Structure 1
Amino acid sequence: MALTMMTYLFNILQDGFFAAIAAIGFASISNPPRQAYKYCALIAALGHATRYVLTHNAYGEMHLIGASFIASLVIGVLTVFLAPRAKCPAETFSFPALLPMIPGMYAYRTIEALLLCLTNQEEHAFNHYFYLLSYNGLTCTFIILGMVVGATLPIFLFKNTSFKATR
């Protein structure tokens, strides 16, 4: 039991670490102030680790859509309250922190299923690939929608705090 718990904690830390590295890379594209990188890394690590814990726990695994929404809420709240400390807009941290959570495999599988759906002539294969197109496309769409709503909701709820950094 102790070994599996240590493995689980290592997986959480590893997930957060790689999300932090990705967020730093995504943040460097938009050229934020130097002090913003540590906040981007911290927020991305905590958000991605939250999603990992929600989708990989012993008490019942949450679907990726709901877990991504909750993780995006965590990212949104953290960005709102850390933005005044870093003296940057909240969006400076939220967008790079969200990018590692983009469901790339679902988007790839959607396009793959679309191409296979269009190239198959028999009805059984077409129905199978159309099912995969629908499932992966809807999952990808709702994950991204949940991420957008989850990250922007705290900015609108805590409007006074979130715009303090730019005043």
Structure 2
Amino acid sequence: MEILIFIEKAIWFGCAAVGFAILFNVPTRTLIPVFLMAALGGITKLFFMHWNIGVVFSTFIGCAVIGILSIFAAHYKHSPPFVFSIPAVIPMVPGTFAYYTMKGFIKLAYNTNPDKFMSLLDNTITNGSKTLFVLMAITIGVYAPMLLTRKESAKQIKISLFNKFNK
């Protein structure tokens, strides 16, 4: 039963990513890899969250998977890696945490009860911190693989990996 839930969520991650890819007007030849990368990255995030790893680290790992796959997809489809990675990570943006942060700020502005102020402030700061750290995890997870391999193309990386195994 859980497998079906993971598969359903993977499909929704992929559909959302393809929607954003179409919105960003990416080439049509890149839509299938964007779908697959978003589905794999989303499943990776959900898998780690299922094992109580935490939303920030799970998001980082899922986005790192997308970042690594986008380098190889860029070589295969002859497009920049950002064409694949940016639409694929957008479904991982923490909209719920950001919404509750803004809702908390609005409640704090109109709060007249001093007893509820500290709990409201605590919830608002917690949601804001989660939003900030998840966004940082997305940024680092997507760009770290590209920064680490920027001096070599994906073709050279592929060849060097094969040379290591052949020795």
Would you say same fold, with TM above 0.5? yes
User: Could you list the runs of 5+ residues in structure 2 that have no partner in the other structure?
Assistant: 157-167
Q: Tell me the equivalent position of 1:79.
A: 70
TM-score when scaled to structure 2? Answer: 0.89
Alpha carbons of structure 1 residues 162 and 140: separation in structure 2 relative to 1, 3 Å: farther
Q: For residues 63-91 of structure 1, give each alpha carbon's deviation from its aligned partner in whole angstroms, at most 9, with x where no partner exists.
A: 10110011111110010111110111000
Letter paired with 2:135: I
CA RMSD after TM alignment: 1.4
Q: CA deviation at 1:20?
A: 0.4
From 136, 150, 153, give the equivalent of 1:161.
153
* Rounded Cα–Cα distance in structure 2 between residues aligned with 1:139 and 1:26: 23
SS of the aligned residue for 1:19 comes to helix
From 39, 43, 49, give the equivalent of 2:43.
49
Q: Tell me the equivalent position of 1:35.
A: 29
Q: CA deviation at 1:33?
A: 1.3
Q: How many residues align?
A: 155
Q: CA deviation at 1:161?
A: 2.4
Q: CA deviation at 1:11?
A: 1.3
Q: CA deviation at 1:163?
A: 9.6
Q: Tell me the equivalent position of 2:82.
A: 91
Q: Is the 8 A contact 1:51 1:68 kept in 2?
A: yes
* Rounded Cα–Cα distance in structure 2 between residues aligned with 1:14 and 1:62: 21
Match status 1:118 vs 2:81: no
From 97, 100, 103, give the equivalent of 2:91.
100
SS of the aligned residue for 2:3 comes to helix
From 5, 23, 28, give the equivalent of 1:11.
5
The runs of at least 4 aligned residues of structure 1 exceeding 6 Å deviation read none
Q: CA deviation at 1:162?
A: 5.4
* Rounded Cα–Cα distance in structure 2 between residues aligned with 1:162 and 1:100: 26
Match status 1:65 vs 2:46: no
Q: Tell me the equivalent position of 1:131.
A: 122
Q: Is the 8 A contact 1:76 1:150 kept in 2?
A: yes
* Rounded Cα–Cα distance in structure 2 between residues aligned with 1:163 and 1:126: 57
User: Could you list the runs of 5+ residues in structure 1 that have no partner in the other structure?
Assistant: 1-6
Q: CA deviation at 1:100?
A: 0.3
SS of the aligned residue for 2:28 comes to coil
Q: For residues 30-86 of structure 1, give each alpha carbon's deviation from its aligned partner in whole angstroms, at most 9, with x where no partner exists.
A: 2111110001000000000000100113xxx11101100111111100101111101
Letter paired with 1:94: S
